Amino acid sequence: MKNIILKLGVLGITAAALVVGNSANALSIKDNNITLRMGSGHPPFITYVKEMSKFFAPKVVARVAKETKYKIKFKEHYAGTVVKVFDTLEGVQDGRLDIGGWCVCFDDDKAMALNLNYFIPFGEPDGNKTIKQFSRLVEKFPDIAKDLEGRYNQKLIGLSGFNNYGLLTAFNWDKFEDLKGHKILAAGPNLPWVKGGIPVRTTIPTAAQHRI
C-alpha cells in the first residue's frame, strides 16, 4: 500500500519539501478505503501549503480512483494543529502525520542539503525556474533524498516554492545600518542575513507575542 502512495505522490507536485513517512501509525485502511493524514505547521494561505491542499491531494485522490481499486481520503491538518513548523519532520517520523510539508529552513541541521539555496552567492528570482533547477539537482544527486530515508525513515516526494522574504518592522529604517541593536526574526539558515541586528530564531506568532 505504501508503494502505491509513493508512486502516485512523486507525480503530485514539483524551498519547501513534501515527505511521506514509512511508518503506518497515522495511516488508516478499511477495506478498500485509505485515509491519510497530511499537514504542515504553516497555515493554508502559504503557497506550498495551498499546493498541498488544492493540487496534490485532489490529484492523488483522482489517480488512485482511476488506476487502482482503492479510494483515498485526506485528513488535512494545517496551522500547527498537529505539527509545528519546527517539528514537521519529527511529526511524520513518529506517525502523527503520514505526509508532511514544511519549509526546510526550519531544519537546516537535519535537512542541510535541502537548504542549499541559502548558501549560494546568487539565485534565480523566478520561483518556477528555481524549483526546476533544484529538482534536477536532487535527481542528479540522489543522496540528498536518501539522507531523509536513512536517518528519518521518510521519502521526499516533492519540492515546492515558498513565499518571498520581506522585512517587516515596527520602527522606521532607511538603510541596513539602522537595524543595529534591533531583534530581527529569522528561520535559521537566513540568520546570517541579519547583519547588524540581533538575529532571533523563532516563529512569527511567538515573535508577535514577545514583540520581537
Q: What is the pLDDT along the chain (212 residues), one digit of tens a residue?
A: 444 333 333 322 226 777 777 655 556 788 899 999 999 999 999 989 999 999 999 999 999 999 999 999 999 999 999 999 999 999 999 999 999 999 998 898 898 888 888 888 877 778 888 889 989 999 999 999 898 889 998 999 999 887 677 788 888 998 888 989 998 888 888 888 777 789 888 776 666 666 65
Grid coordinates representing 137 are 539537482
Q: Is 188 exposed, middle or buried (0-12, 13-18, 19+ CB in 10 A)?
A: middle
Give the per-residue pLDDT at 188.
83
The whole-model pTM stands at 0.83
> What whole-number distance in Å separates Cα of residue 44 and Cα of residue 38?
12
Q: What is the 3-state secondary structure (H, E, C) of 39-95?
A: ECCCCCCCHHHHHHHHHHHHHHHHHHHHHCCCEEEEEEECCCCCCCCCCHHHHHHCC
On whether the CB atoms of residues 110 and 66 are closer than 8 A, the answer is no
Query: In terms of Cα–Cα distance, which of 137, 135, 171, 1 is closest to 184?
Result: 171
Q: How far is CA 107 from CA 13, 29, 144, 147, 190, in A?
A: 21, 31, 14, 13, 12
